[in-house]
Chains A and B, each alone.
Chain A
Amino acid sequence: MKILLVEDDKLTREYLASGLRGLGHTCDAAKDGLEGLSLAMRDIYDAIILDRMLPGMEGLAVLKALRANSVSTPVLLLTAIGGVDDRVEGLEAGADDYLVKPFAFSELSARLSAILRRQSKPREQTRLAVGDLEIDLVRRVVTRAGQKLDLLQKEYALLEYFVRSEGRVLSKNMLLEQVWDFHFDPKTSVVETHISRLRAKVDKPFATPLIHTIKNVGYCLRVSD
């Protein structure tokens, strides 16, 4: 994939660029808003990582200009401001996701792959399946190997998100935002507890686990190899 990175801090830019190349992406880097905008307008990128606070032209202004010129490349906004209305402002301006500094590179790469995939997957399905696990989205019924699983509401929401993101690593923050609509750090182990409960129902009675822990990053649902 071809990624455009717009970030004014040299060290962060270089580190992120080398990390992205390490993941097998090609990466162009811009150091200010105007340069970023002129590169992005060429519309040749699969995704744009855009810092919100940039010299020359602000990240949000760049984003708005892109959307106004119908450049629909997925954008991951990086920001130093974590307030609720700043996040909403970013998403309303046309960002696909929002990441607050400081972040780990693994978090960035998880979110980047999420916005890259979001494009291709149609949402109007009535049935999802991974291996022998099936979700009937209309009746909200989950079966594994033909056996009906009795899930609570939050467990169902969690599993649905996992299945929709099959094979992708989901960070703890992504789960909190998507499943619980939590935009703050809970002080209790909400995610861990729910994952362990879900595992007890989805994985434990069966031979092969589907939900995998990815160390230092998060979780991933996939048919193990």
Chain B
Amino acid sequence: MFLTKLTQSSYFRFASAIAAVFLVAYFGASAVAFHAINQNLKTRVVQVAQLASATYEDQYQVGGLGELISTINSDIKTKHADDVVVWLGKADGSFLAGQQLKDPLFLRSGDYPGDVLADNIDDRFHVEVREFDHLRLVTGNSYEESNDIRDVVTSAYAGATIVAFALACLAIFTLARQGQLRIDRIRSVLKRVALGQLDKRIEISQTHDDLNILAVEINSALSQLQTTVDEIKQVSVNIAHDLRTPLNRLSLHVDRLKQLESQYPDLEQALRQINADIHLMASIFDAVLRIAQIEAGTLRANFKPVDVLELTTSLCDTFAPVAEEAEQLIEFQSGCHEPALMPGDKALLTQMFANLIENAIRHAGRGAVIKVQMTLERDKIVVCIADNGPGIPVEEKDNVLQRFYRLDKSRNSEGTGLGLAIVKAIVDLHRAELILEDNQPGLRVCVKLPGDTGHSR
């Protein structure tokens, strides 16, 4: 989980790319250095062998054969056979001084494995062969010492490589984590804002880098957004106040006139009509205001776990007698017997389901059967309200969700024409899905609600 998140991070990718380039360069440079060291060590062994050979010849030229033989014999006593080989003989191969070699006449200047020279030698040697005055001088120098040096260099290099590699990994993780943490902080703030907490801001750190500049700009955009939302809210509050005050006066006047009802028999009917109109105006106004408020999305900040099973059961209990009065039947079916929790606003969800059930009761006609079904689909809670009434013509399906739209073109039917528009707004607020289907016959309205994602459980 953490690893997938880390590898998706652009910081991690950037750091990895740099580290990869660094490692390639490191290995390339090391290979060159290693080759140079190797060459150098080899040259030194050859030079030592050549020097020994030349020194012995000089000795012969100055002191003669006797002195050369005694020098060689004393030299091989002090030096180890694994490091140095000296053989002096006549041109025909007869031995004069030094160590016994297997086949001294076969040897030429160059590199040989130790066992070609003699049985008890195993290292690789560089051999120099020199002939003068019918004499044959073979000197050899072992690569052992240079091999030892190379081994030390190699292991030191390997150690350094491991340390460098570990440091590179550490740098990748630290860089990626730090960058990721800052991006995560920005993301969590934006998520909260999307959930309606418009006052959340990104913490600004002291470092002046691009991420910080981005954070500052996001913050200023958020402030702008909050101001706009607040202004809209204030304006609607003002409008509400200015419009409702006269409406309220009107309502109170009607109240007062009601006391005169007994003296003027015609008054009752007129006052009832006025009251109904005041009520309708207020409820249209309420609905418009409420839709605006719901659409602002700020209500998400107050979401709490709501049990959809309990809610729908309770609403069916409430509307069953109402349906019975219209000779209808409400059947409730549930696919689960445990609380079906979702984050939401209980009052609004109640209004949404009540509205859908009431629509079915009002439009399905006498004798209709209204089925309320709750099922769980993976992480979704699906509630369907289906009736076997006249339904909605296919071409009207999208229209009925519009504000002030009514199937009855004369607009004489009761209601504000905002019922389904409020339902749609509540559905959107909860990031749910509203589906209107043909129930053949009748209308089937399904709401697909996002279930509890687990964090409030």
Contact = CB atoms under 8 A, between A and B. Distances in A.
Interface of A: 9, 11-12, 15-16, 19, 53, 80-85, 88, 100-106, 152-154, 180-190, 193-194, 197, 216
B83 interface: no
A196 to B, nearest CB: 9
Contacts of B256: 15
A85 B302 contact: yes
B158 interface: no
A11 B345 CA distance: 37
Contacts of A194: 318, 321
B245 interface: yes
Contacts of B289: 81-83
10 contacts: A9-B249, A80-B243, A80-B245, A83-B290, A84-B347, A102-B248, A104-B251, A181-B350, A184-B354, A194-B321
A188 B322 contact: yes
Contacts of B299: 84-85
Nearest to B243: A80
Given A12-B252, A197-B321, 12 more contacts: A53-B237, A80-B237, A80-B243, A80-B244, A101-B248, A101-B282, A102-B248, A104-B252, A105-B252, A106-B255, A187-B362, A190-B319
A188 B249 contact: no
A185 B319 contact: no
B13 interface: no
A83 B245 contact: no
Contacts of A190: 318-319, 322
Q: Interface residues of B: mostly helix, strand, loop or mixed? A: helix
B271 to A, nearest CB: 10
Contacts of B346: 181
A193 B350 contact: no
B351 A80 contact: no
A168 to B, nearest CB: 19
A152 B318 CA distance: 10
A81 B358 contact: no
A81 to B, nearest CB: 5
Contacts of A185: 283
Nearest to B281: A102
B237 A187 contact: no
A16 B256 CA distance: 11
Contacts of B250: 102
A19 B255 CA distance: 10
Contacts of A103: 248, 251
Nearest to B352: A184
A41 to B, nearest CB: 25
Q: Which has the most chain B C-beta neighbours within 10 Å: A101, A154, A197? A: A101
A15 B361 CA distance: 40
B362 to A, nearest CB: 6
A194 B354 CA distance: 16
Contacts of A82: 286, 289-290
A102 B282 contact: yes
B278 A182 contact: no
Contact of A186 (B255, B258, B325, B358): B358
